[in-house]
Amino acid sequence: MNRRTFTKSLAVTATALGLRTPLLARPPAPQFSITMDDFHWQNPTKLSASERNDAILNSLQSHSIKAALFVIGRNIEAPEGKQLISTWDKAGHLIGNHTYSHRNYNASAAVAEYQQDILRAEALLKDFPRFRKYFRFPLLKEGDTATKRDVMRSFLAQHGYRTGHVTIDNSDWAIDNRLTARLKKDAAADVKPYRDFYMEHMWTRAEYYDSLARRVLGRPVKHTVLVHFNLLNGLFLGDLIEMFKSKGWQPIDAEDAFADPVFSAKPKVVPAGESIVWSLAKENGTIAKTLRYPAEDGEYENARMDKLGL
C-alpha cells in the first residue's frame, strides 16, 4: 500500500469510527495569550506614559485579544496611574494582583508582612470591574522553603486567589534596559536591532517552553506569555503578536488561557516558582536534570547583547 492509499484508508477508517478529525490531521496550532506585568509608567523615554499605554492597548486591540495586566499596587496610587489603568479596565482586559511593592518572596523573611502587601494591592484594585483574583508572584518567586511555599498557597486559597502563572518565561526586561539606556544617550538611535533581538529571544523561549510542556504533560498547554509594561513593548508588542501568528500560533484571551488545568497544578518543588511548565518539569526526575536555575535571567542574554553592541 503506498502512502497516499494508506492515508486515504486511515481517513475512511476514522470516518467509519465516527471520528470527526482524520487520524493524520495536523496537530492543532499552539495557543498563546499576553500577560503583562508591573505597570511601570513613570519612566518615560521616547514615548510618554500615555503614548506607551495607548501603543500597547492598540496592539492588543488590533489583534482583538484581551490580555491580563498584573499591577503593582503602588503604581496606581497617583491619579495619573489610576487614570491609565482605568483605560485597561474599560477595554476589557483582566486586571490581576502583583503585590503593592514588588518584593521577592524568596528573599522575604516576614511572611505575614508579605501577605499584607498582597492585601494592600487588592484594596487599590478591587473596585475595577475587570479585577479578578489572580495573583502573580514578583519575579515568579513562590518561596524558597517548603513551609513558605505552602503557607502562601493556603493564604491565597483562603482569600479566593488563583496563581496567575506564566508558561513562557523570558527576559524582555533585560532587552528593555539596554534599549532605554541607549535612547537616553542618543534619542535618534536605531531601535531595529533591539526589535530583532527581542523577536528572536521570544521565539526561542516560546519553542523551549512549548516543547517542555509537551514532554512533561504529554499535551500542549494554553500559553501565558510574560511581557512587561515597558518601552520595548510600547514599540514592539504588535510585532511580537504578529510574529507568533506568522509561526502558526493562535492568539487567545488571557482568561481563556487560565482555564487550562495546568494552572491549577501545585508542584512540590523548592525553590518554588518560575514558569509553571518549568516547575512541573522540575518534579520530573529525568527532565529536571536538563533545567537551569534561575530558569530565565538577563545574565543569560547579556553576553550576546554585548556582542551585538546592544
Can you give the binding site for Zn ion, defined by CB under 5 A?
Answer: 37-38, 138
CB of 55 closer than 8 Å to CB of 104: no
* 307 vs 310: CA distance, rounded Å: 8
* 117 vs 111: CA distance, rounded Å: 10
Burial classification of residue 16, based on how many CB atoms lie within 10 Å of its CB (0-12 exposed, 13-18 middle, 19 or more buried): exposed
- List own/partner pairs for 146-154 with CB under 8 A and 24 or more apart: 146/268, 146/270, 148/105, 148/111, 149/270, 149/272, 151/111, 152/105, 152/111, 152/114, 152/115, 153/266
Minimal distance, residue 19 CB to Zn ion, in Å: 45
Minimal distance, residue 131 CB to Zn ion, in Å: 17
Minimal distance, residue 138 CB to Zn ion, in Å: 5
Nearer to Zn ion, 37 or 117 (CB): 37
Nearer to Zn ion, 141 or 182 (CB): 141
Nearer to Zn ion, 35 or 216 (CB): 35
β-bridge partners, 71: 38, 97
Burial classification of residue 54, based on how many CB atoms lie within 10 Å of its CB (0-12 exposed, 13-18 middle, 19 or more buried): middle
Nearer to Zn ion, 39 or 198 (CB): 39
Q: Dihedral of CA 172/173/177/182: which sign?
A: positive
Minimal distance, residue 182 CB to Zn ion, in Å: 23
Nearer to Zn ion, 37 or 176 (CB): 37
Minimal distance, residue 72 CB to Zn ion, in Å: 7
Nearer to Zn ion, 38 or 301 (CB): 38
Nearer to Zn ion, 37 or 301 (CB): 37
Q: How far is CA 58 from CA 31, 88, 150, 243, 282, in A?
A: 21, 11, 39, 16, 37
Minimal distance, residue 295 CB to Zn ion, in Å: 15
Minimal distance, residue 164 CB to Zn ion, in Å: 11
CB of 212 closer than 8 Å to CB of 277: yes
Determine if the peptide bond prior to 27 is cis (ω within 30°).
no
Nearer to Zn ion, 227 or 241 (CB): 227
Closest residue to Zn ion using C-beta atoms: 37
Minimal distance, residue 137 CB to Zn ion, in Å: 8
Pairing of strands 250-251, 31-38: parallel
Q: Which three cell numbers stand for residue 275?
A: 514558569
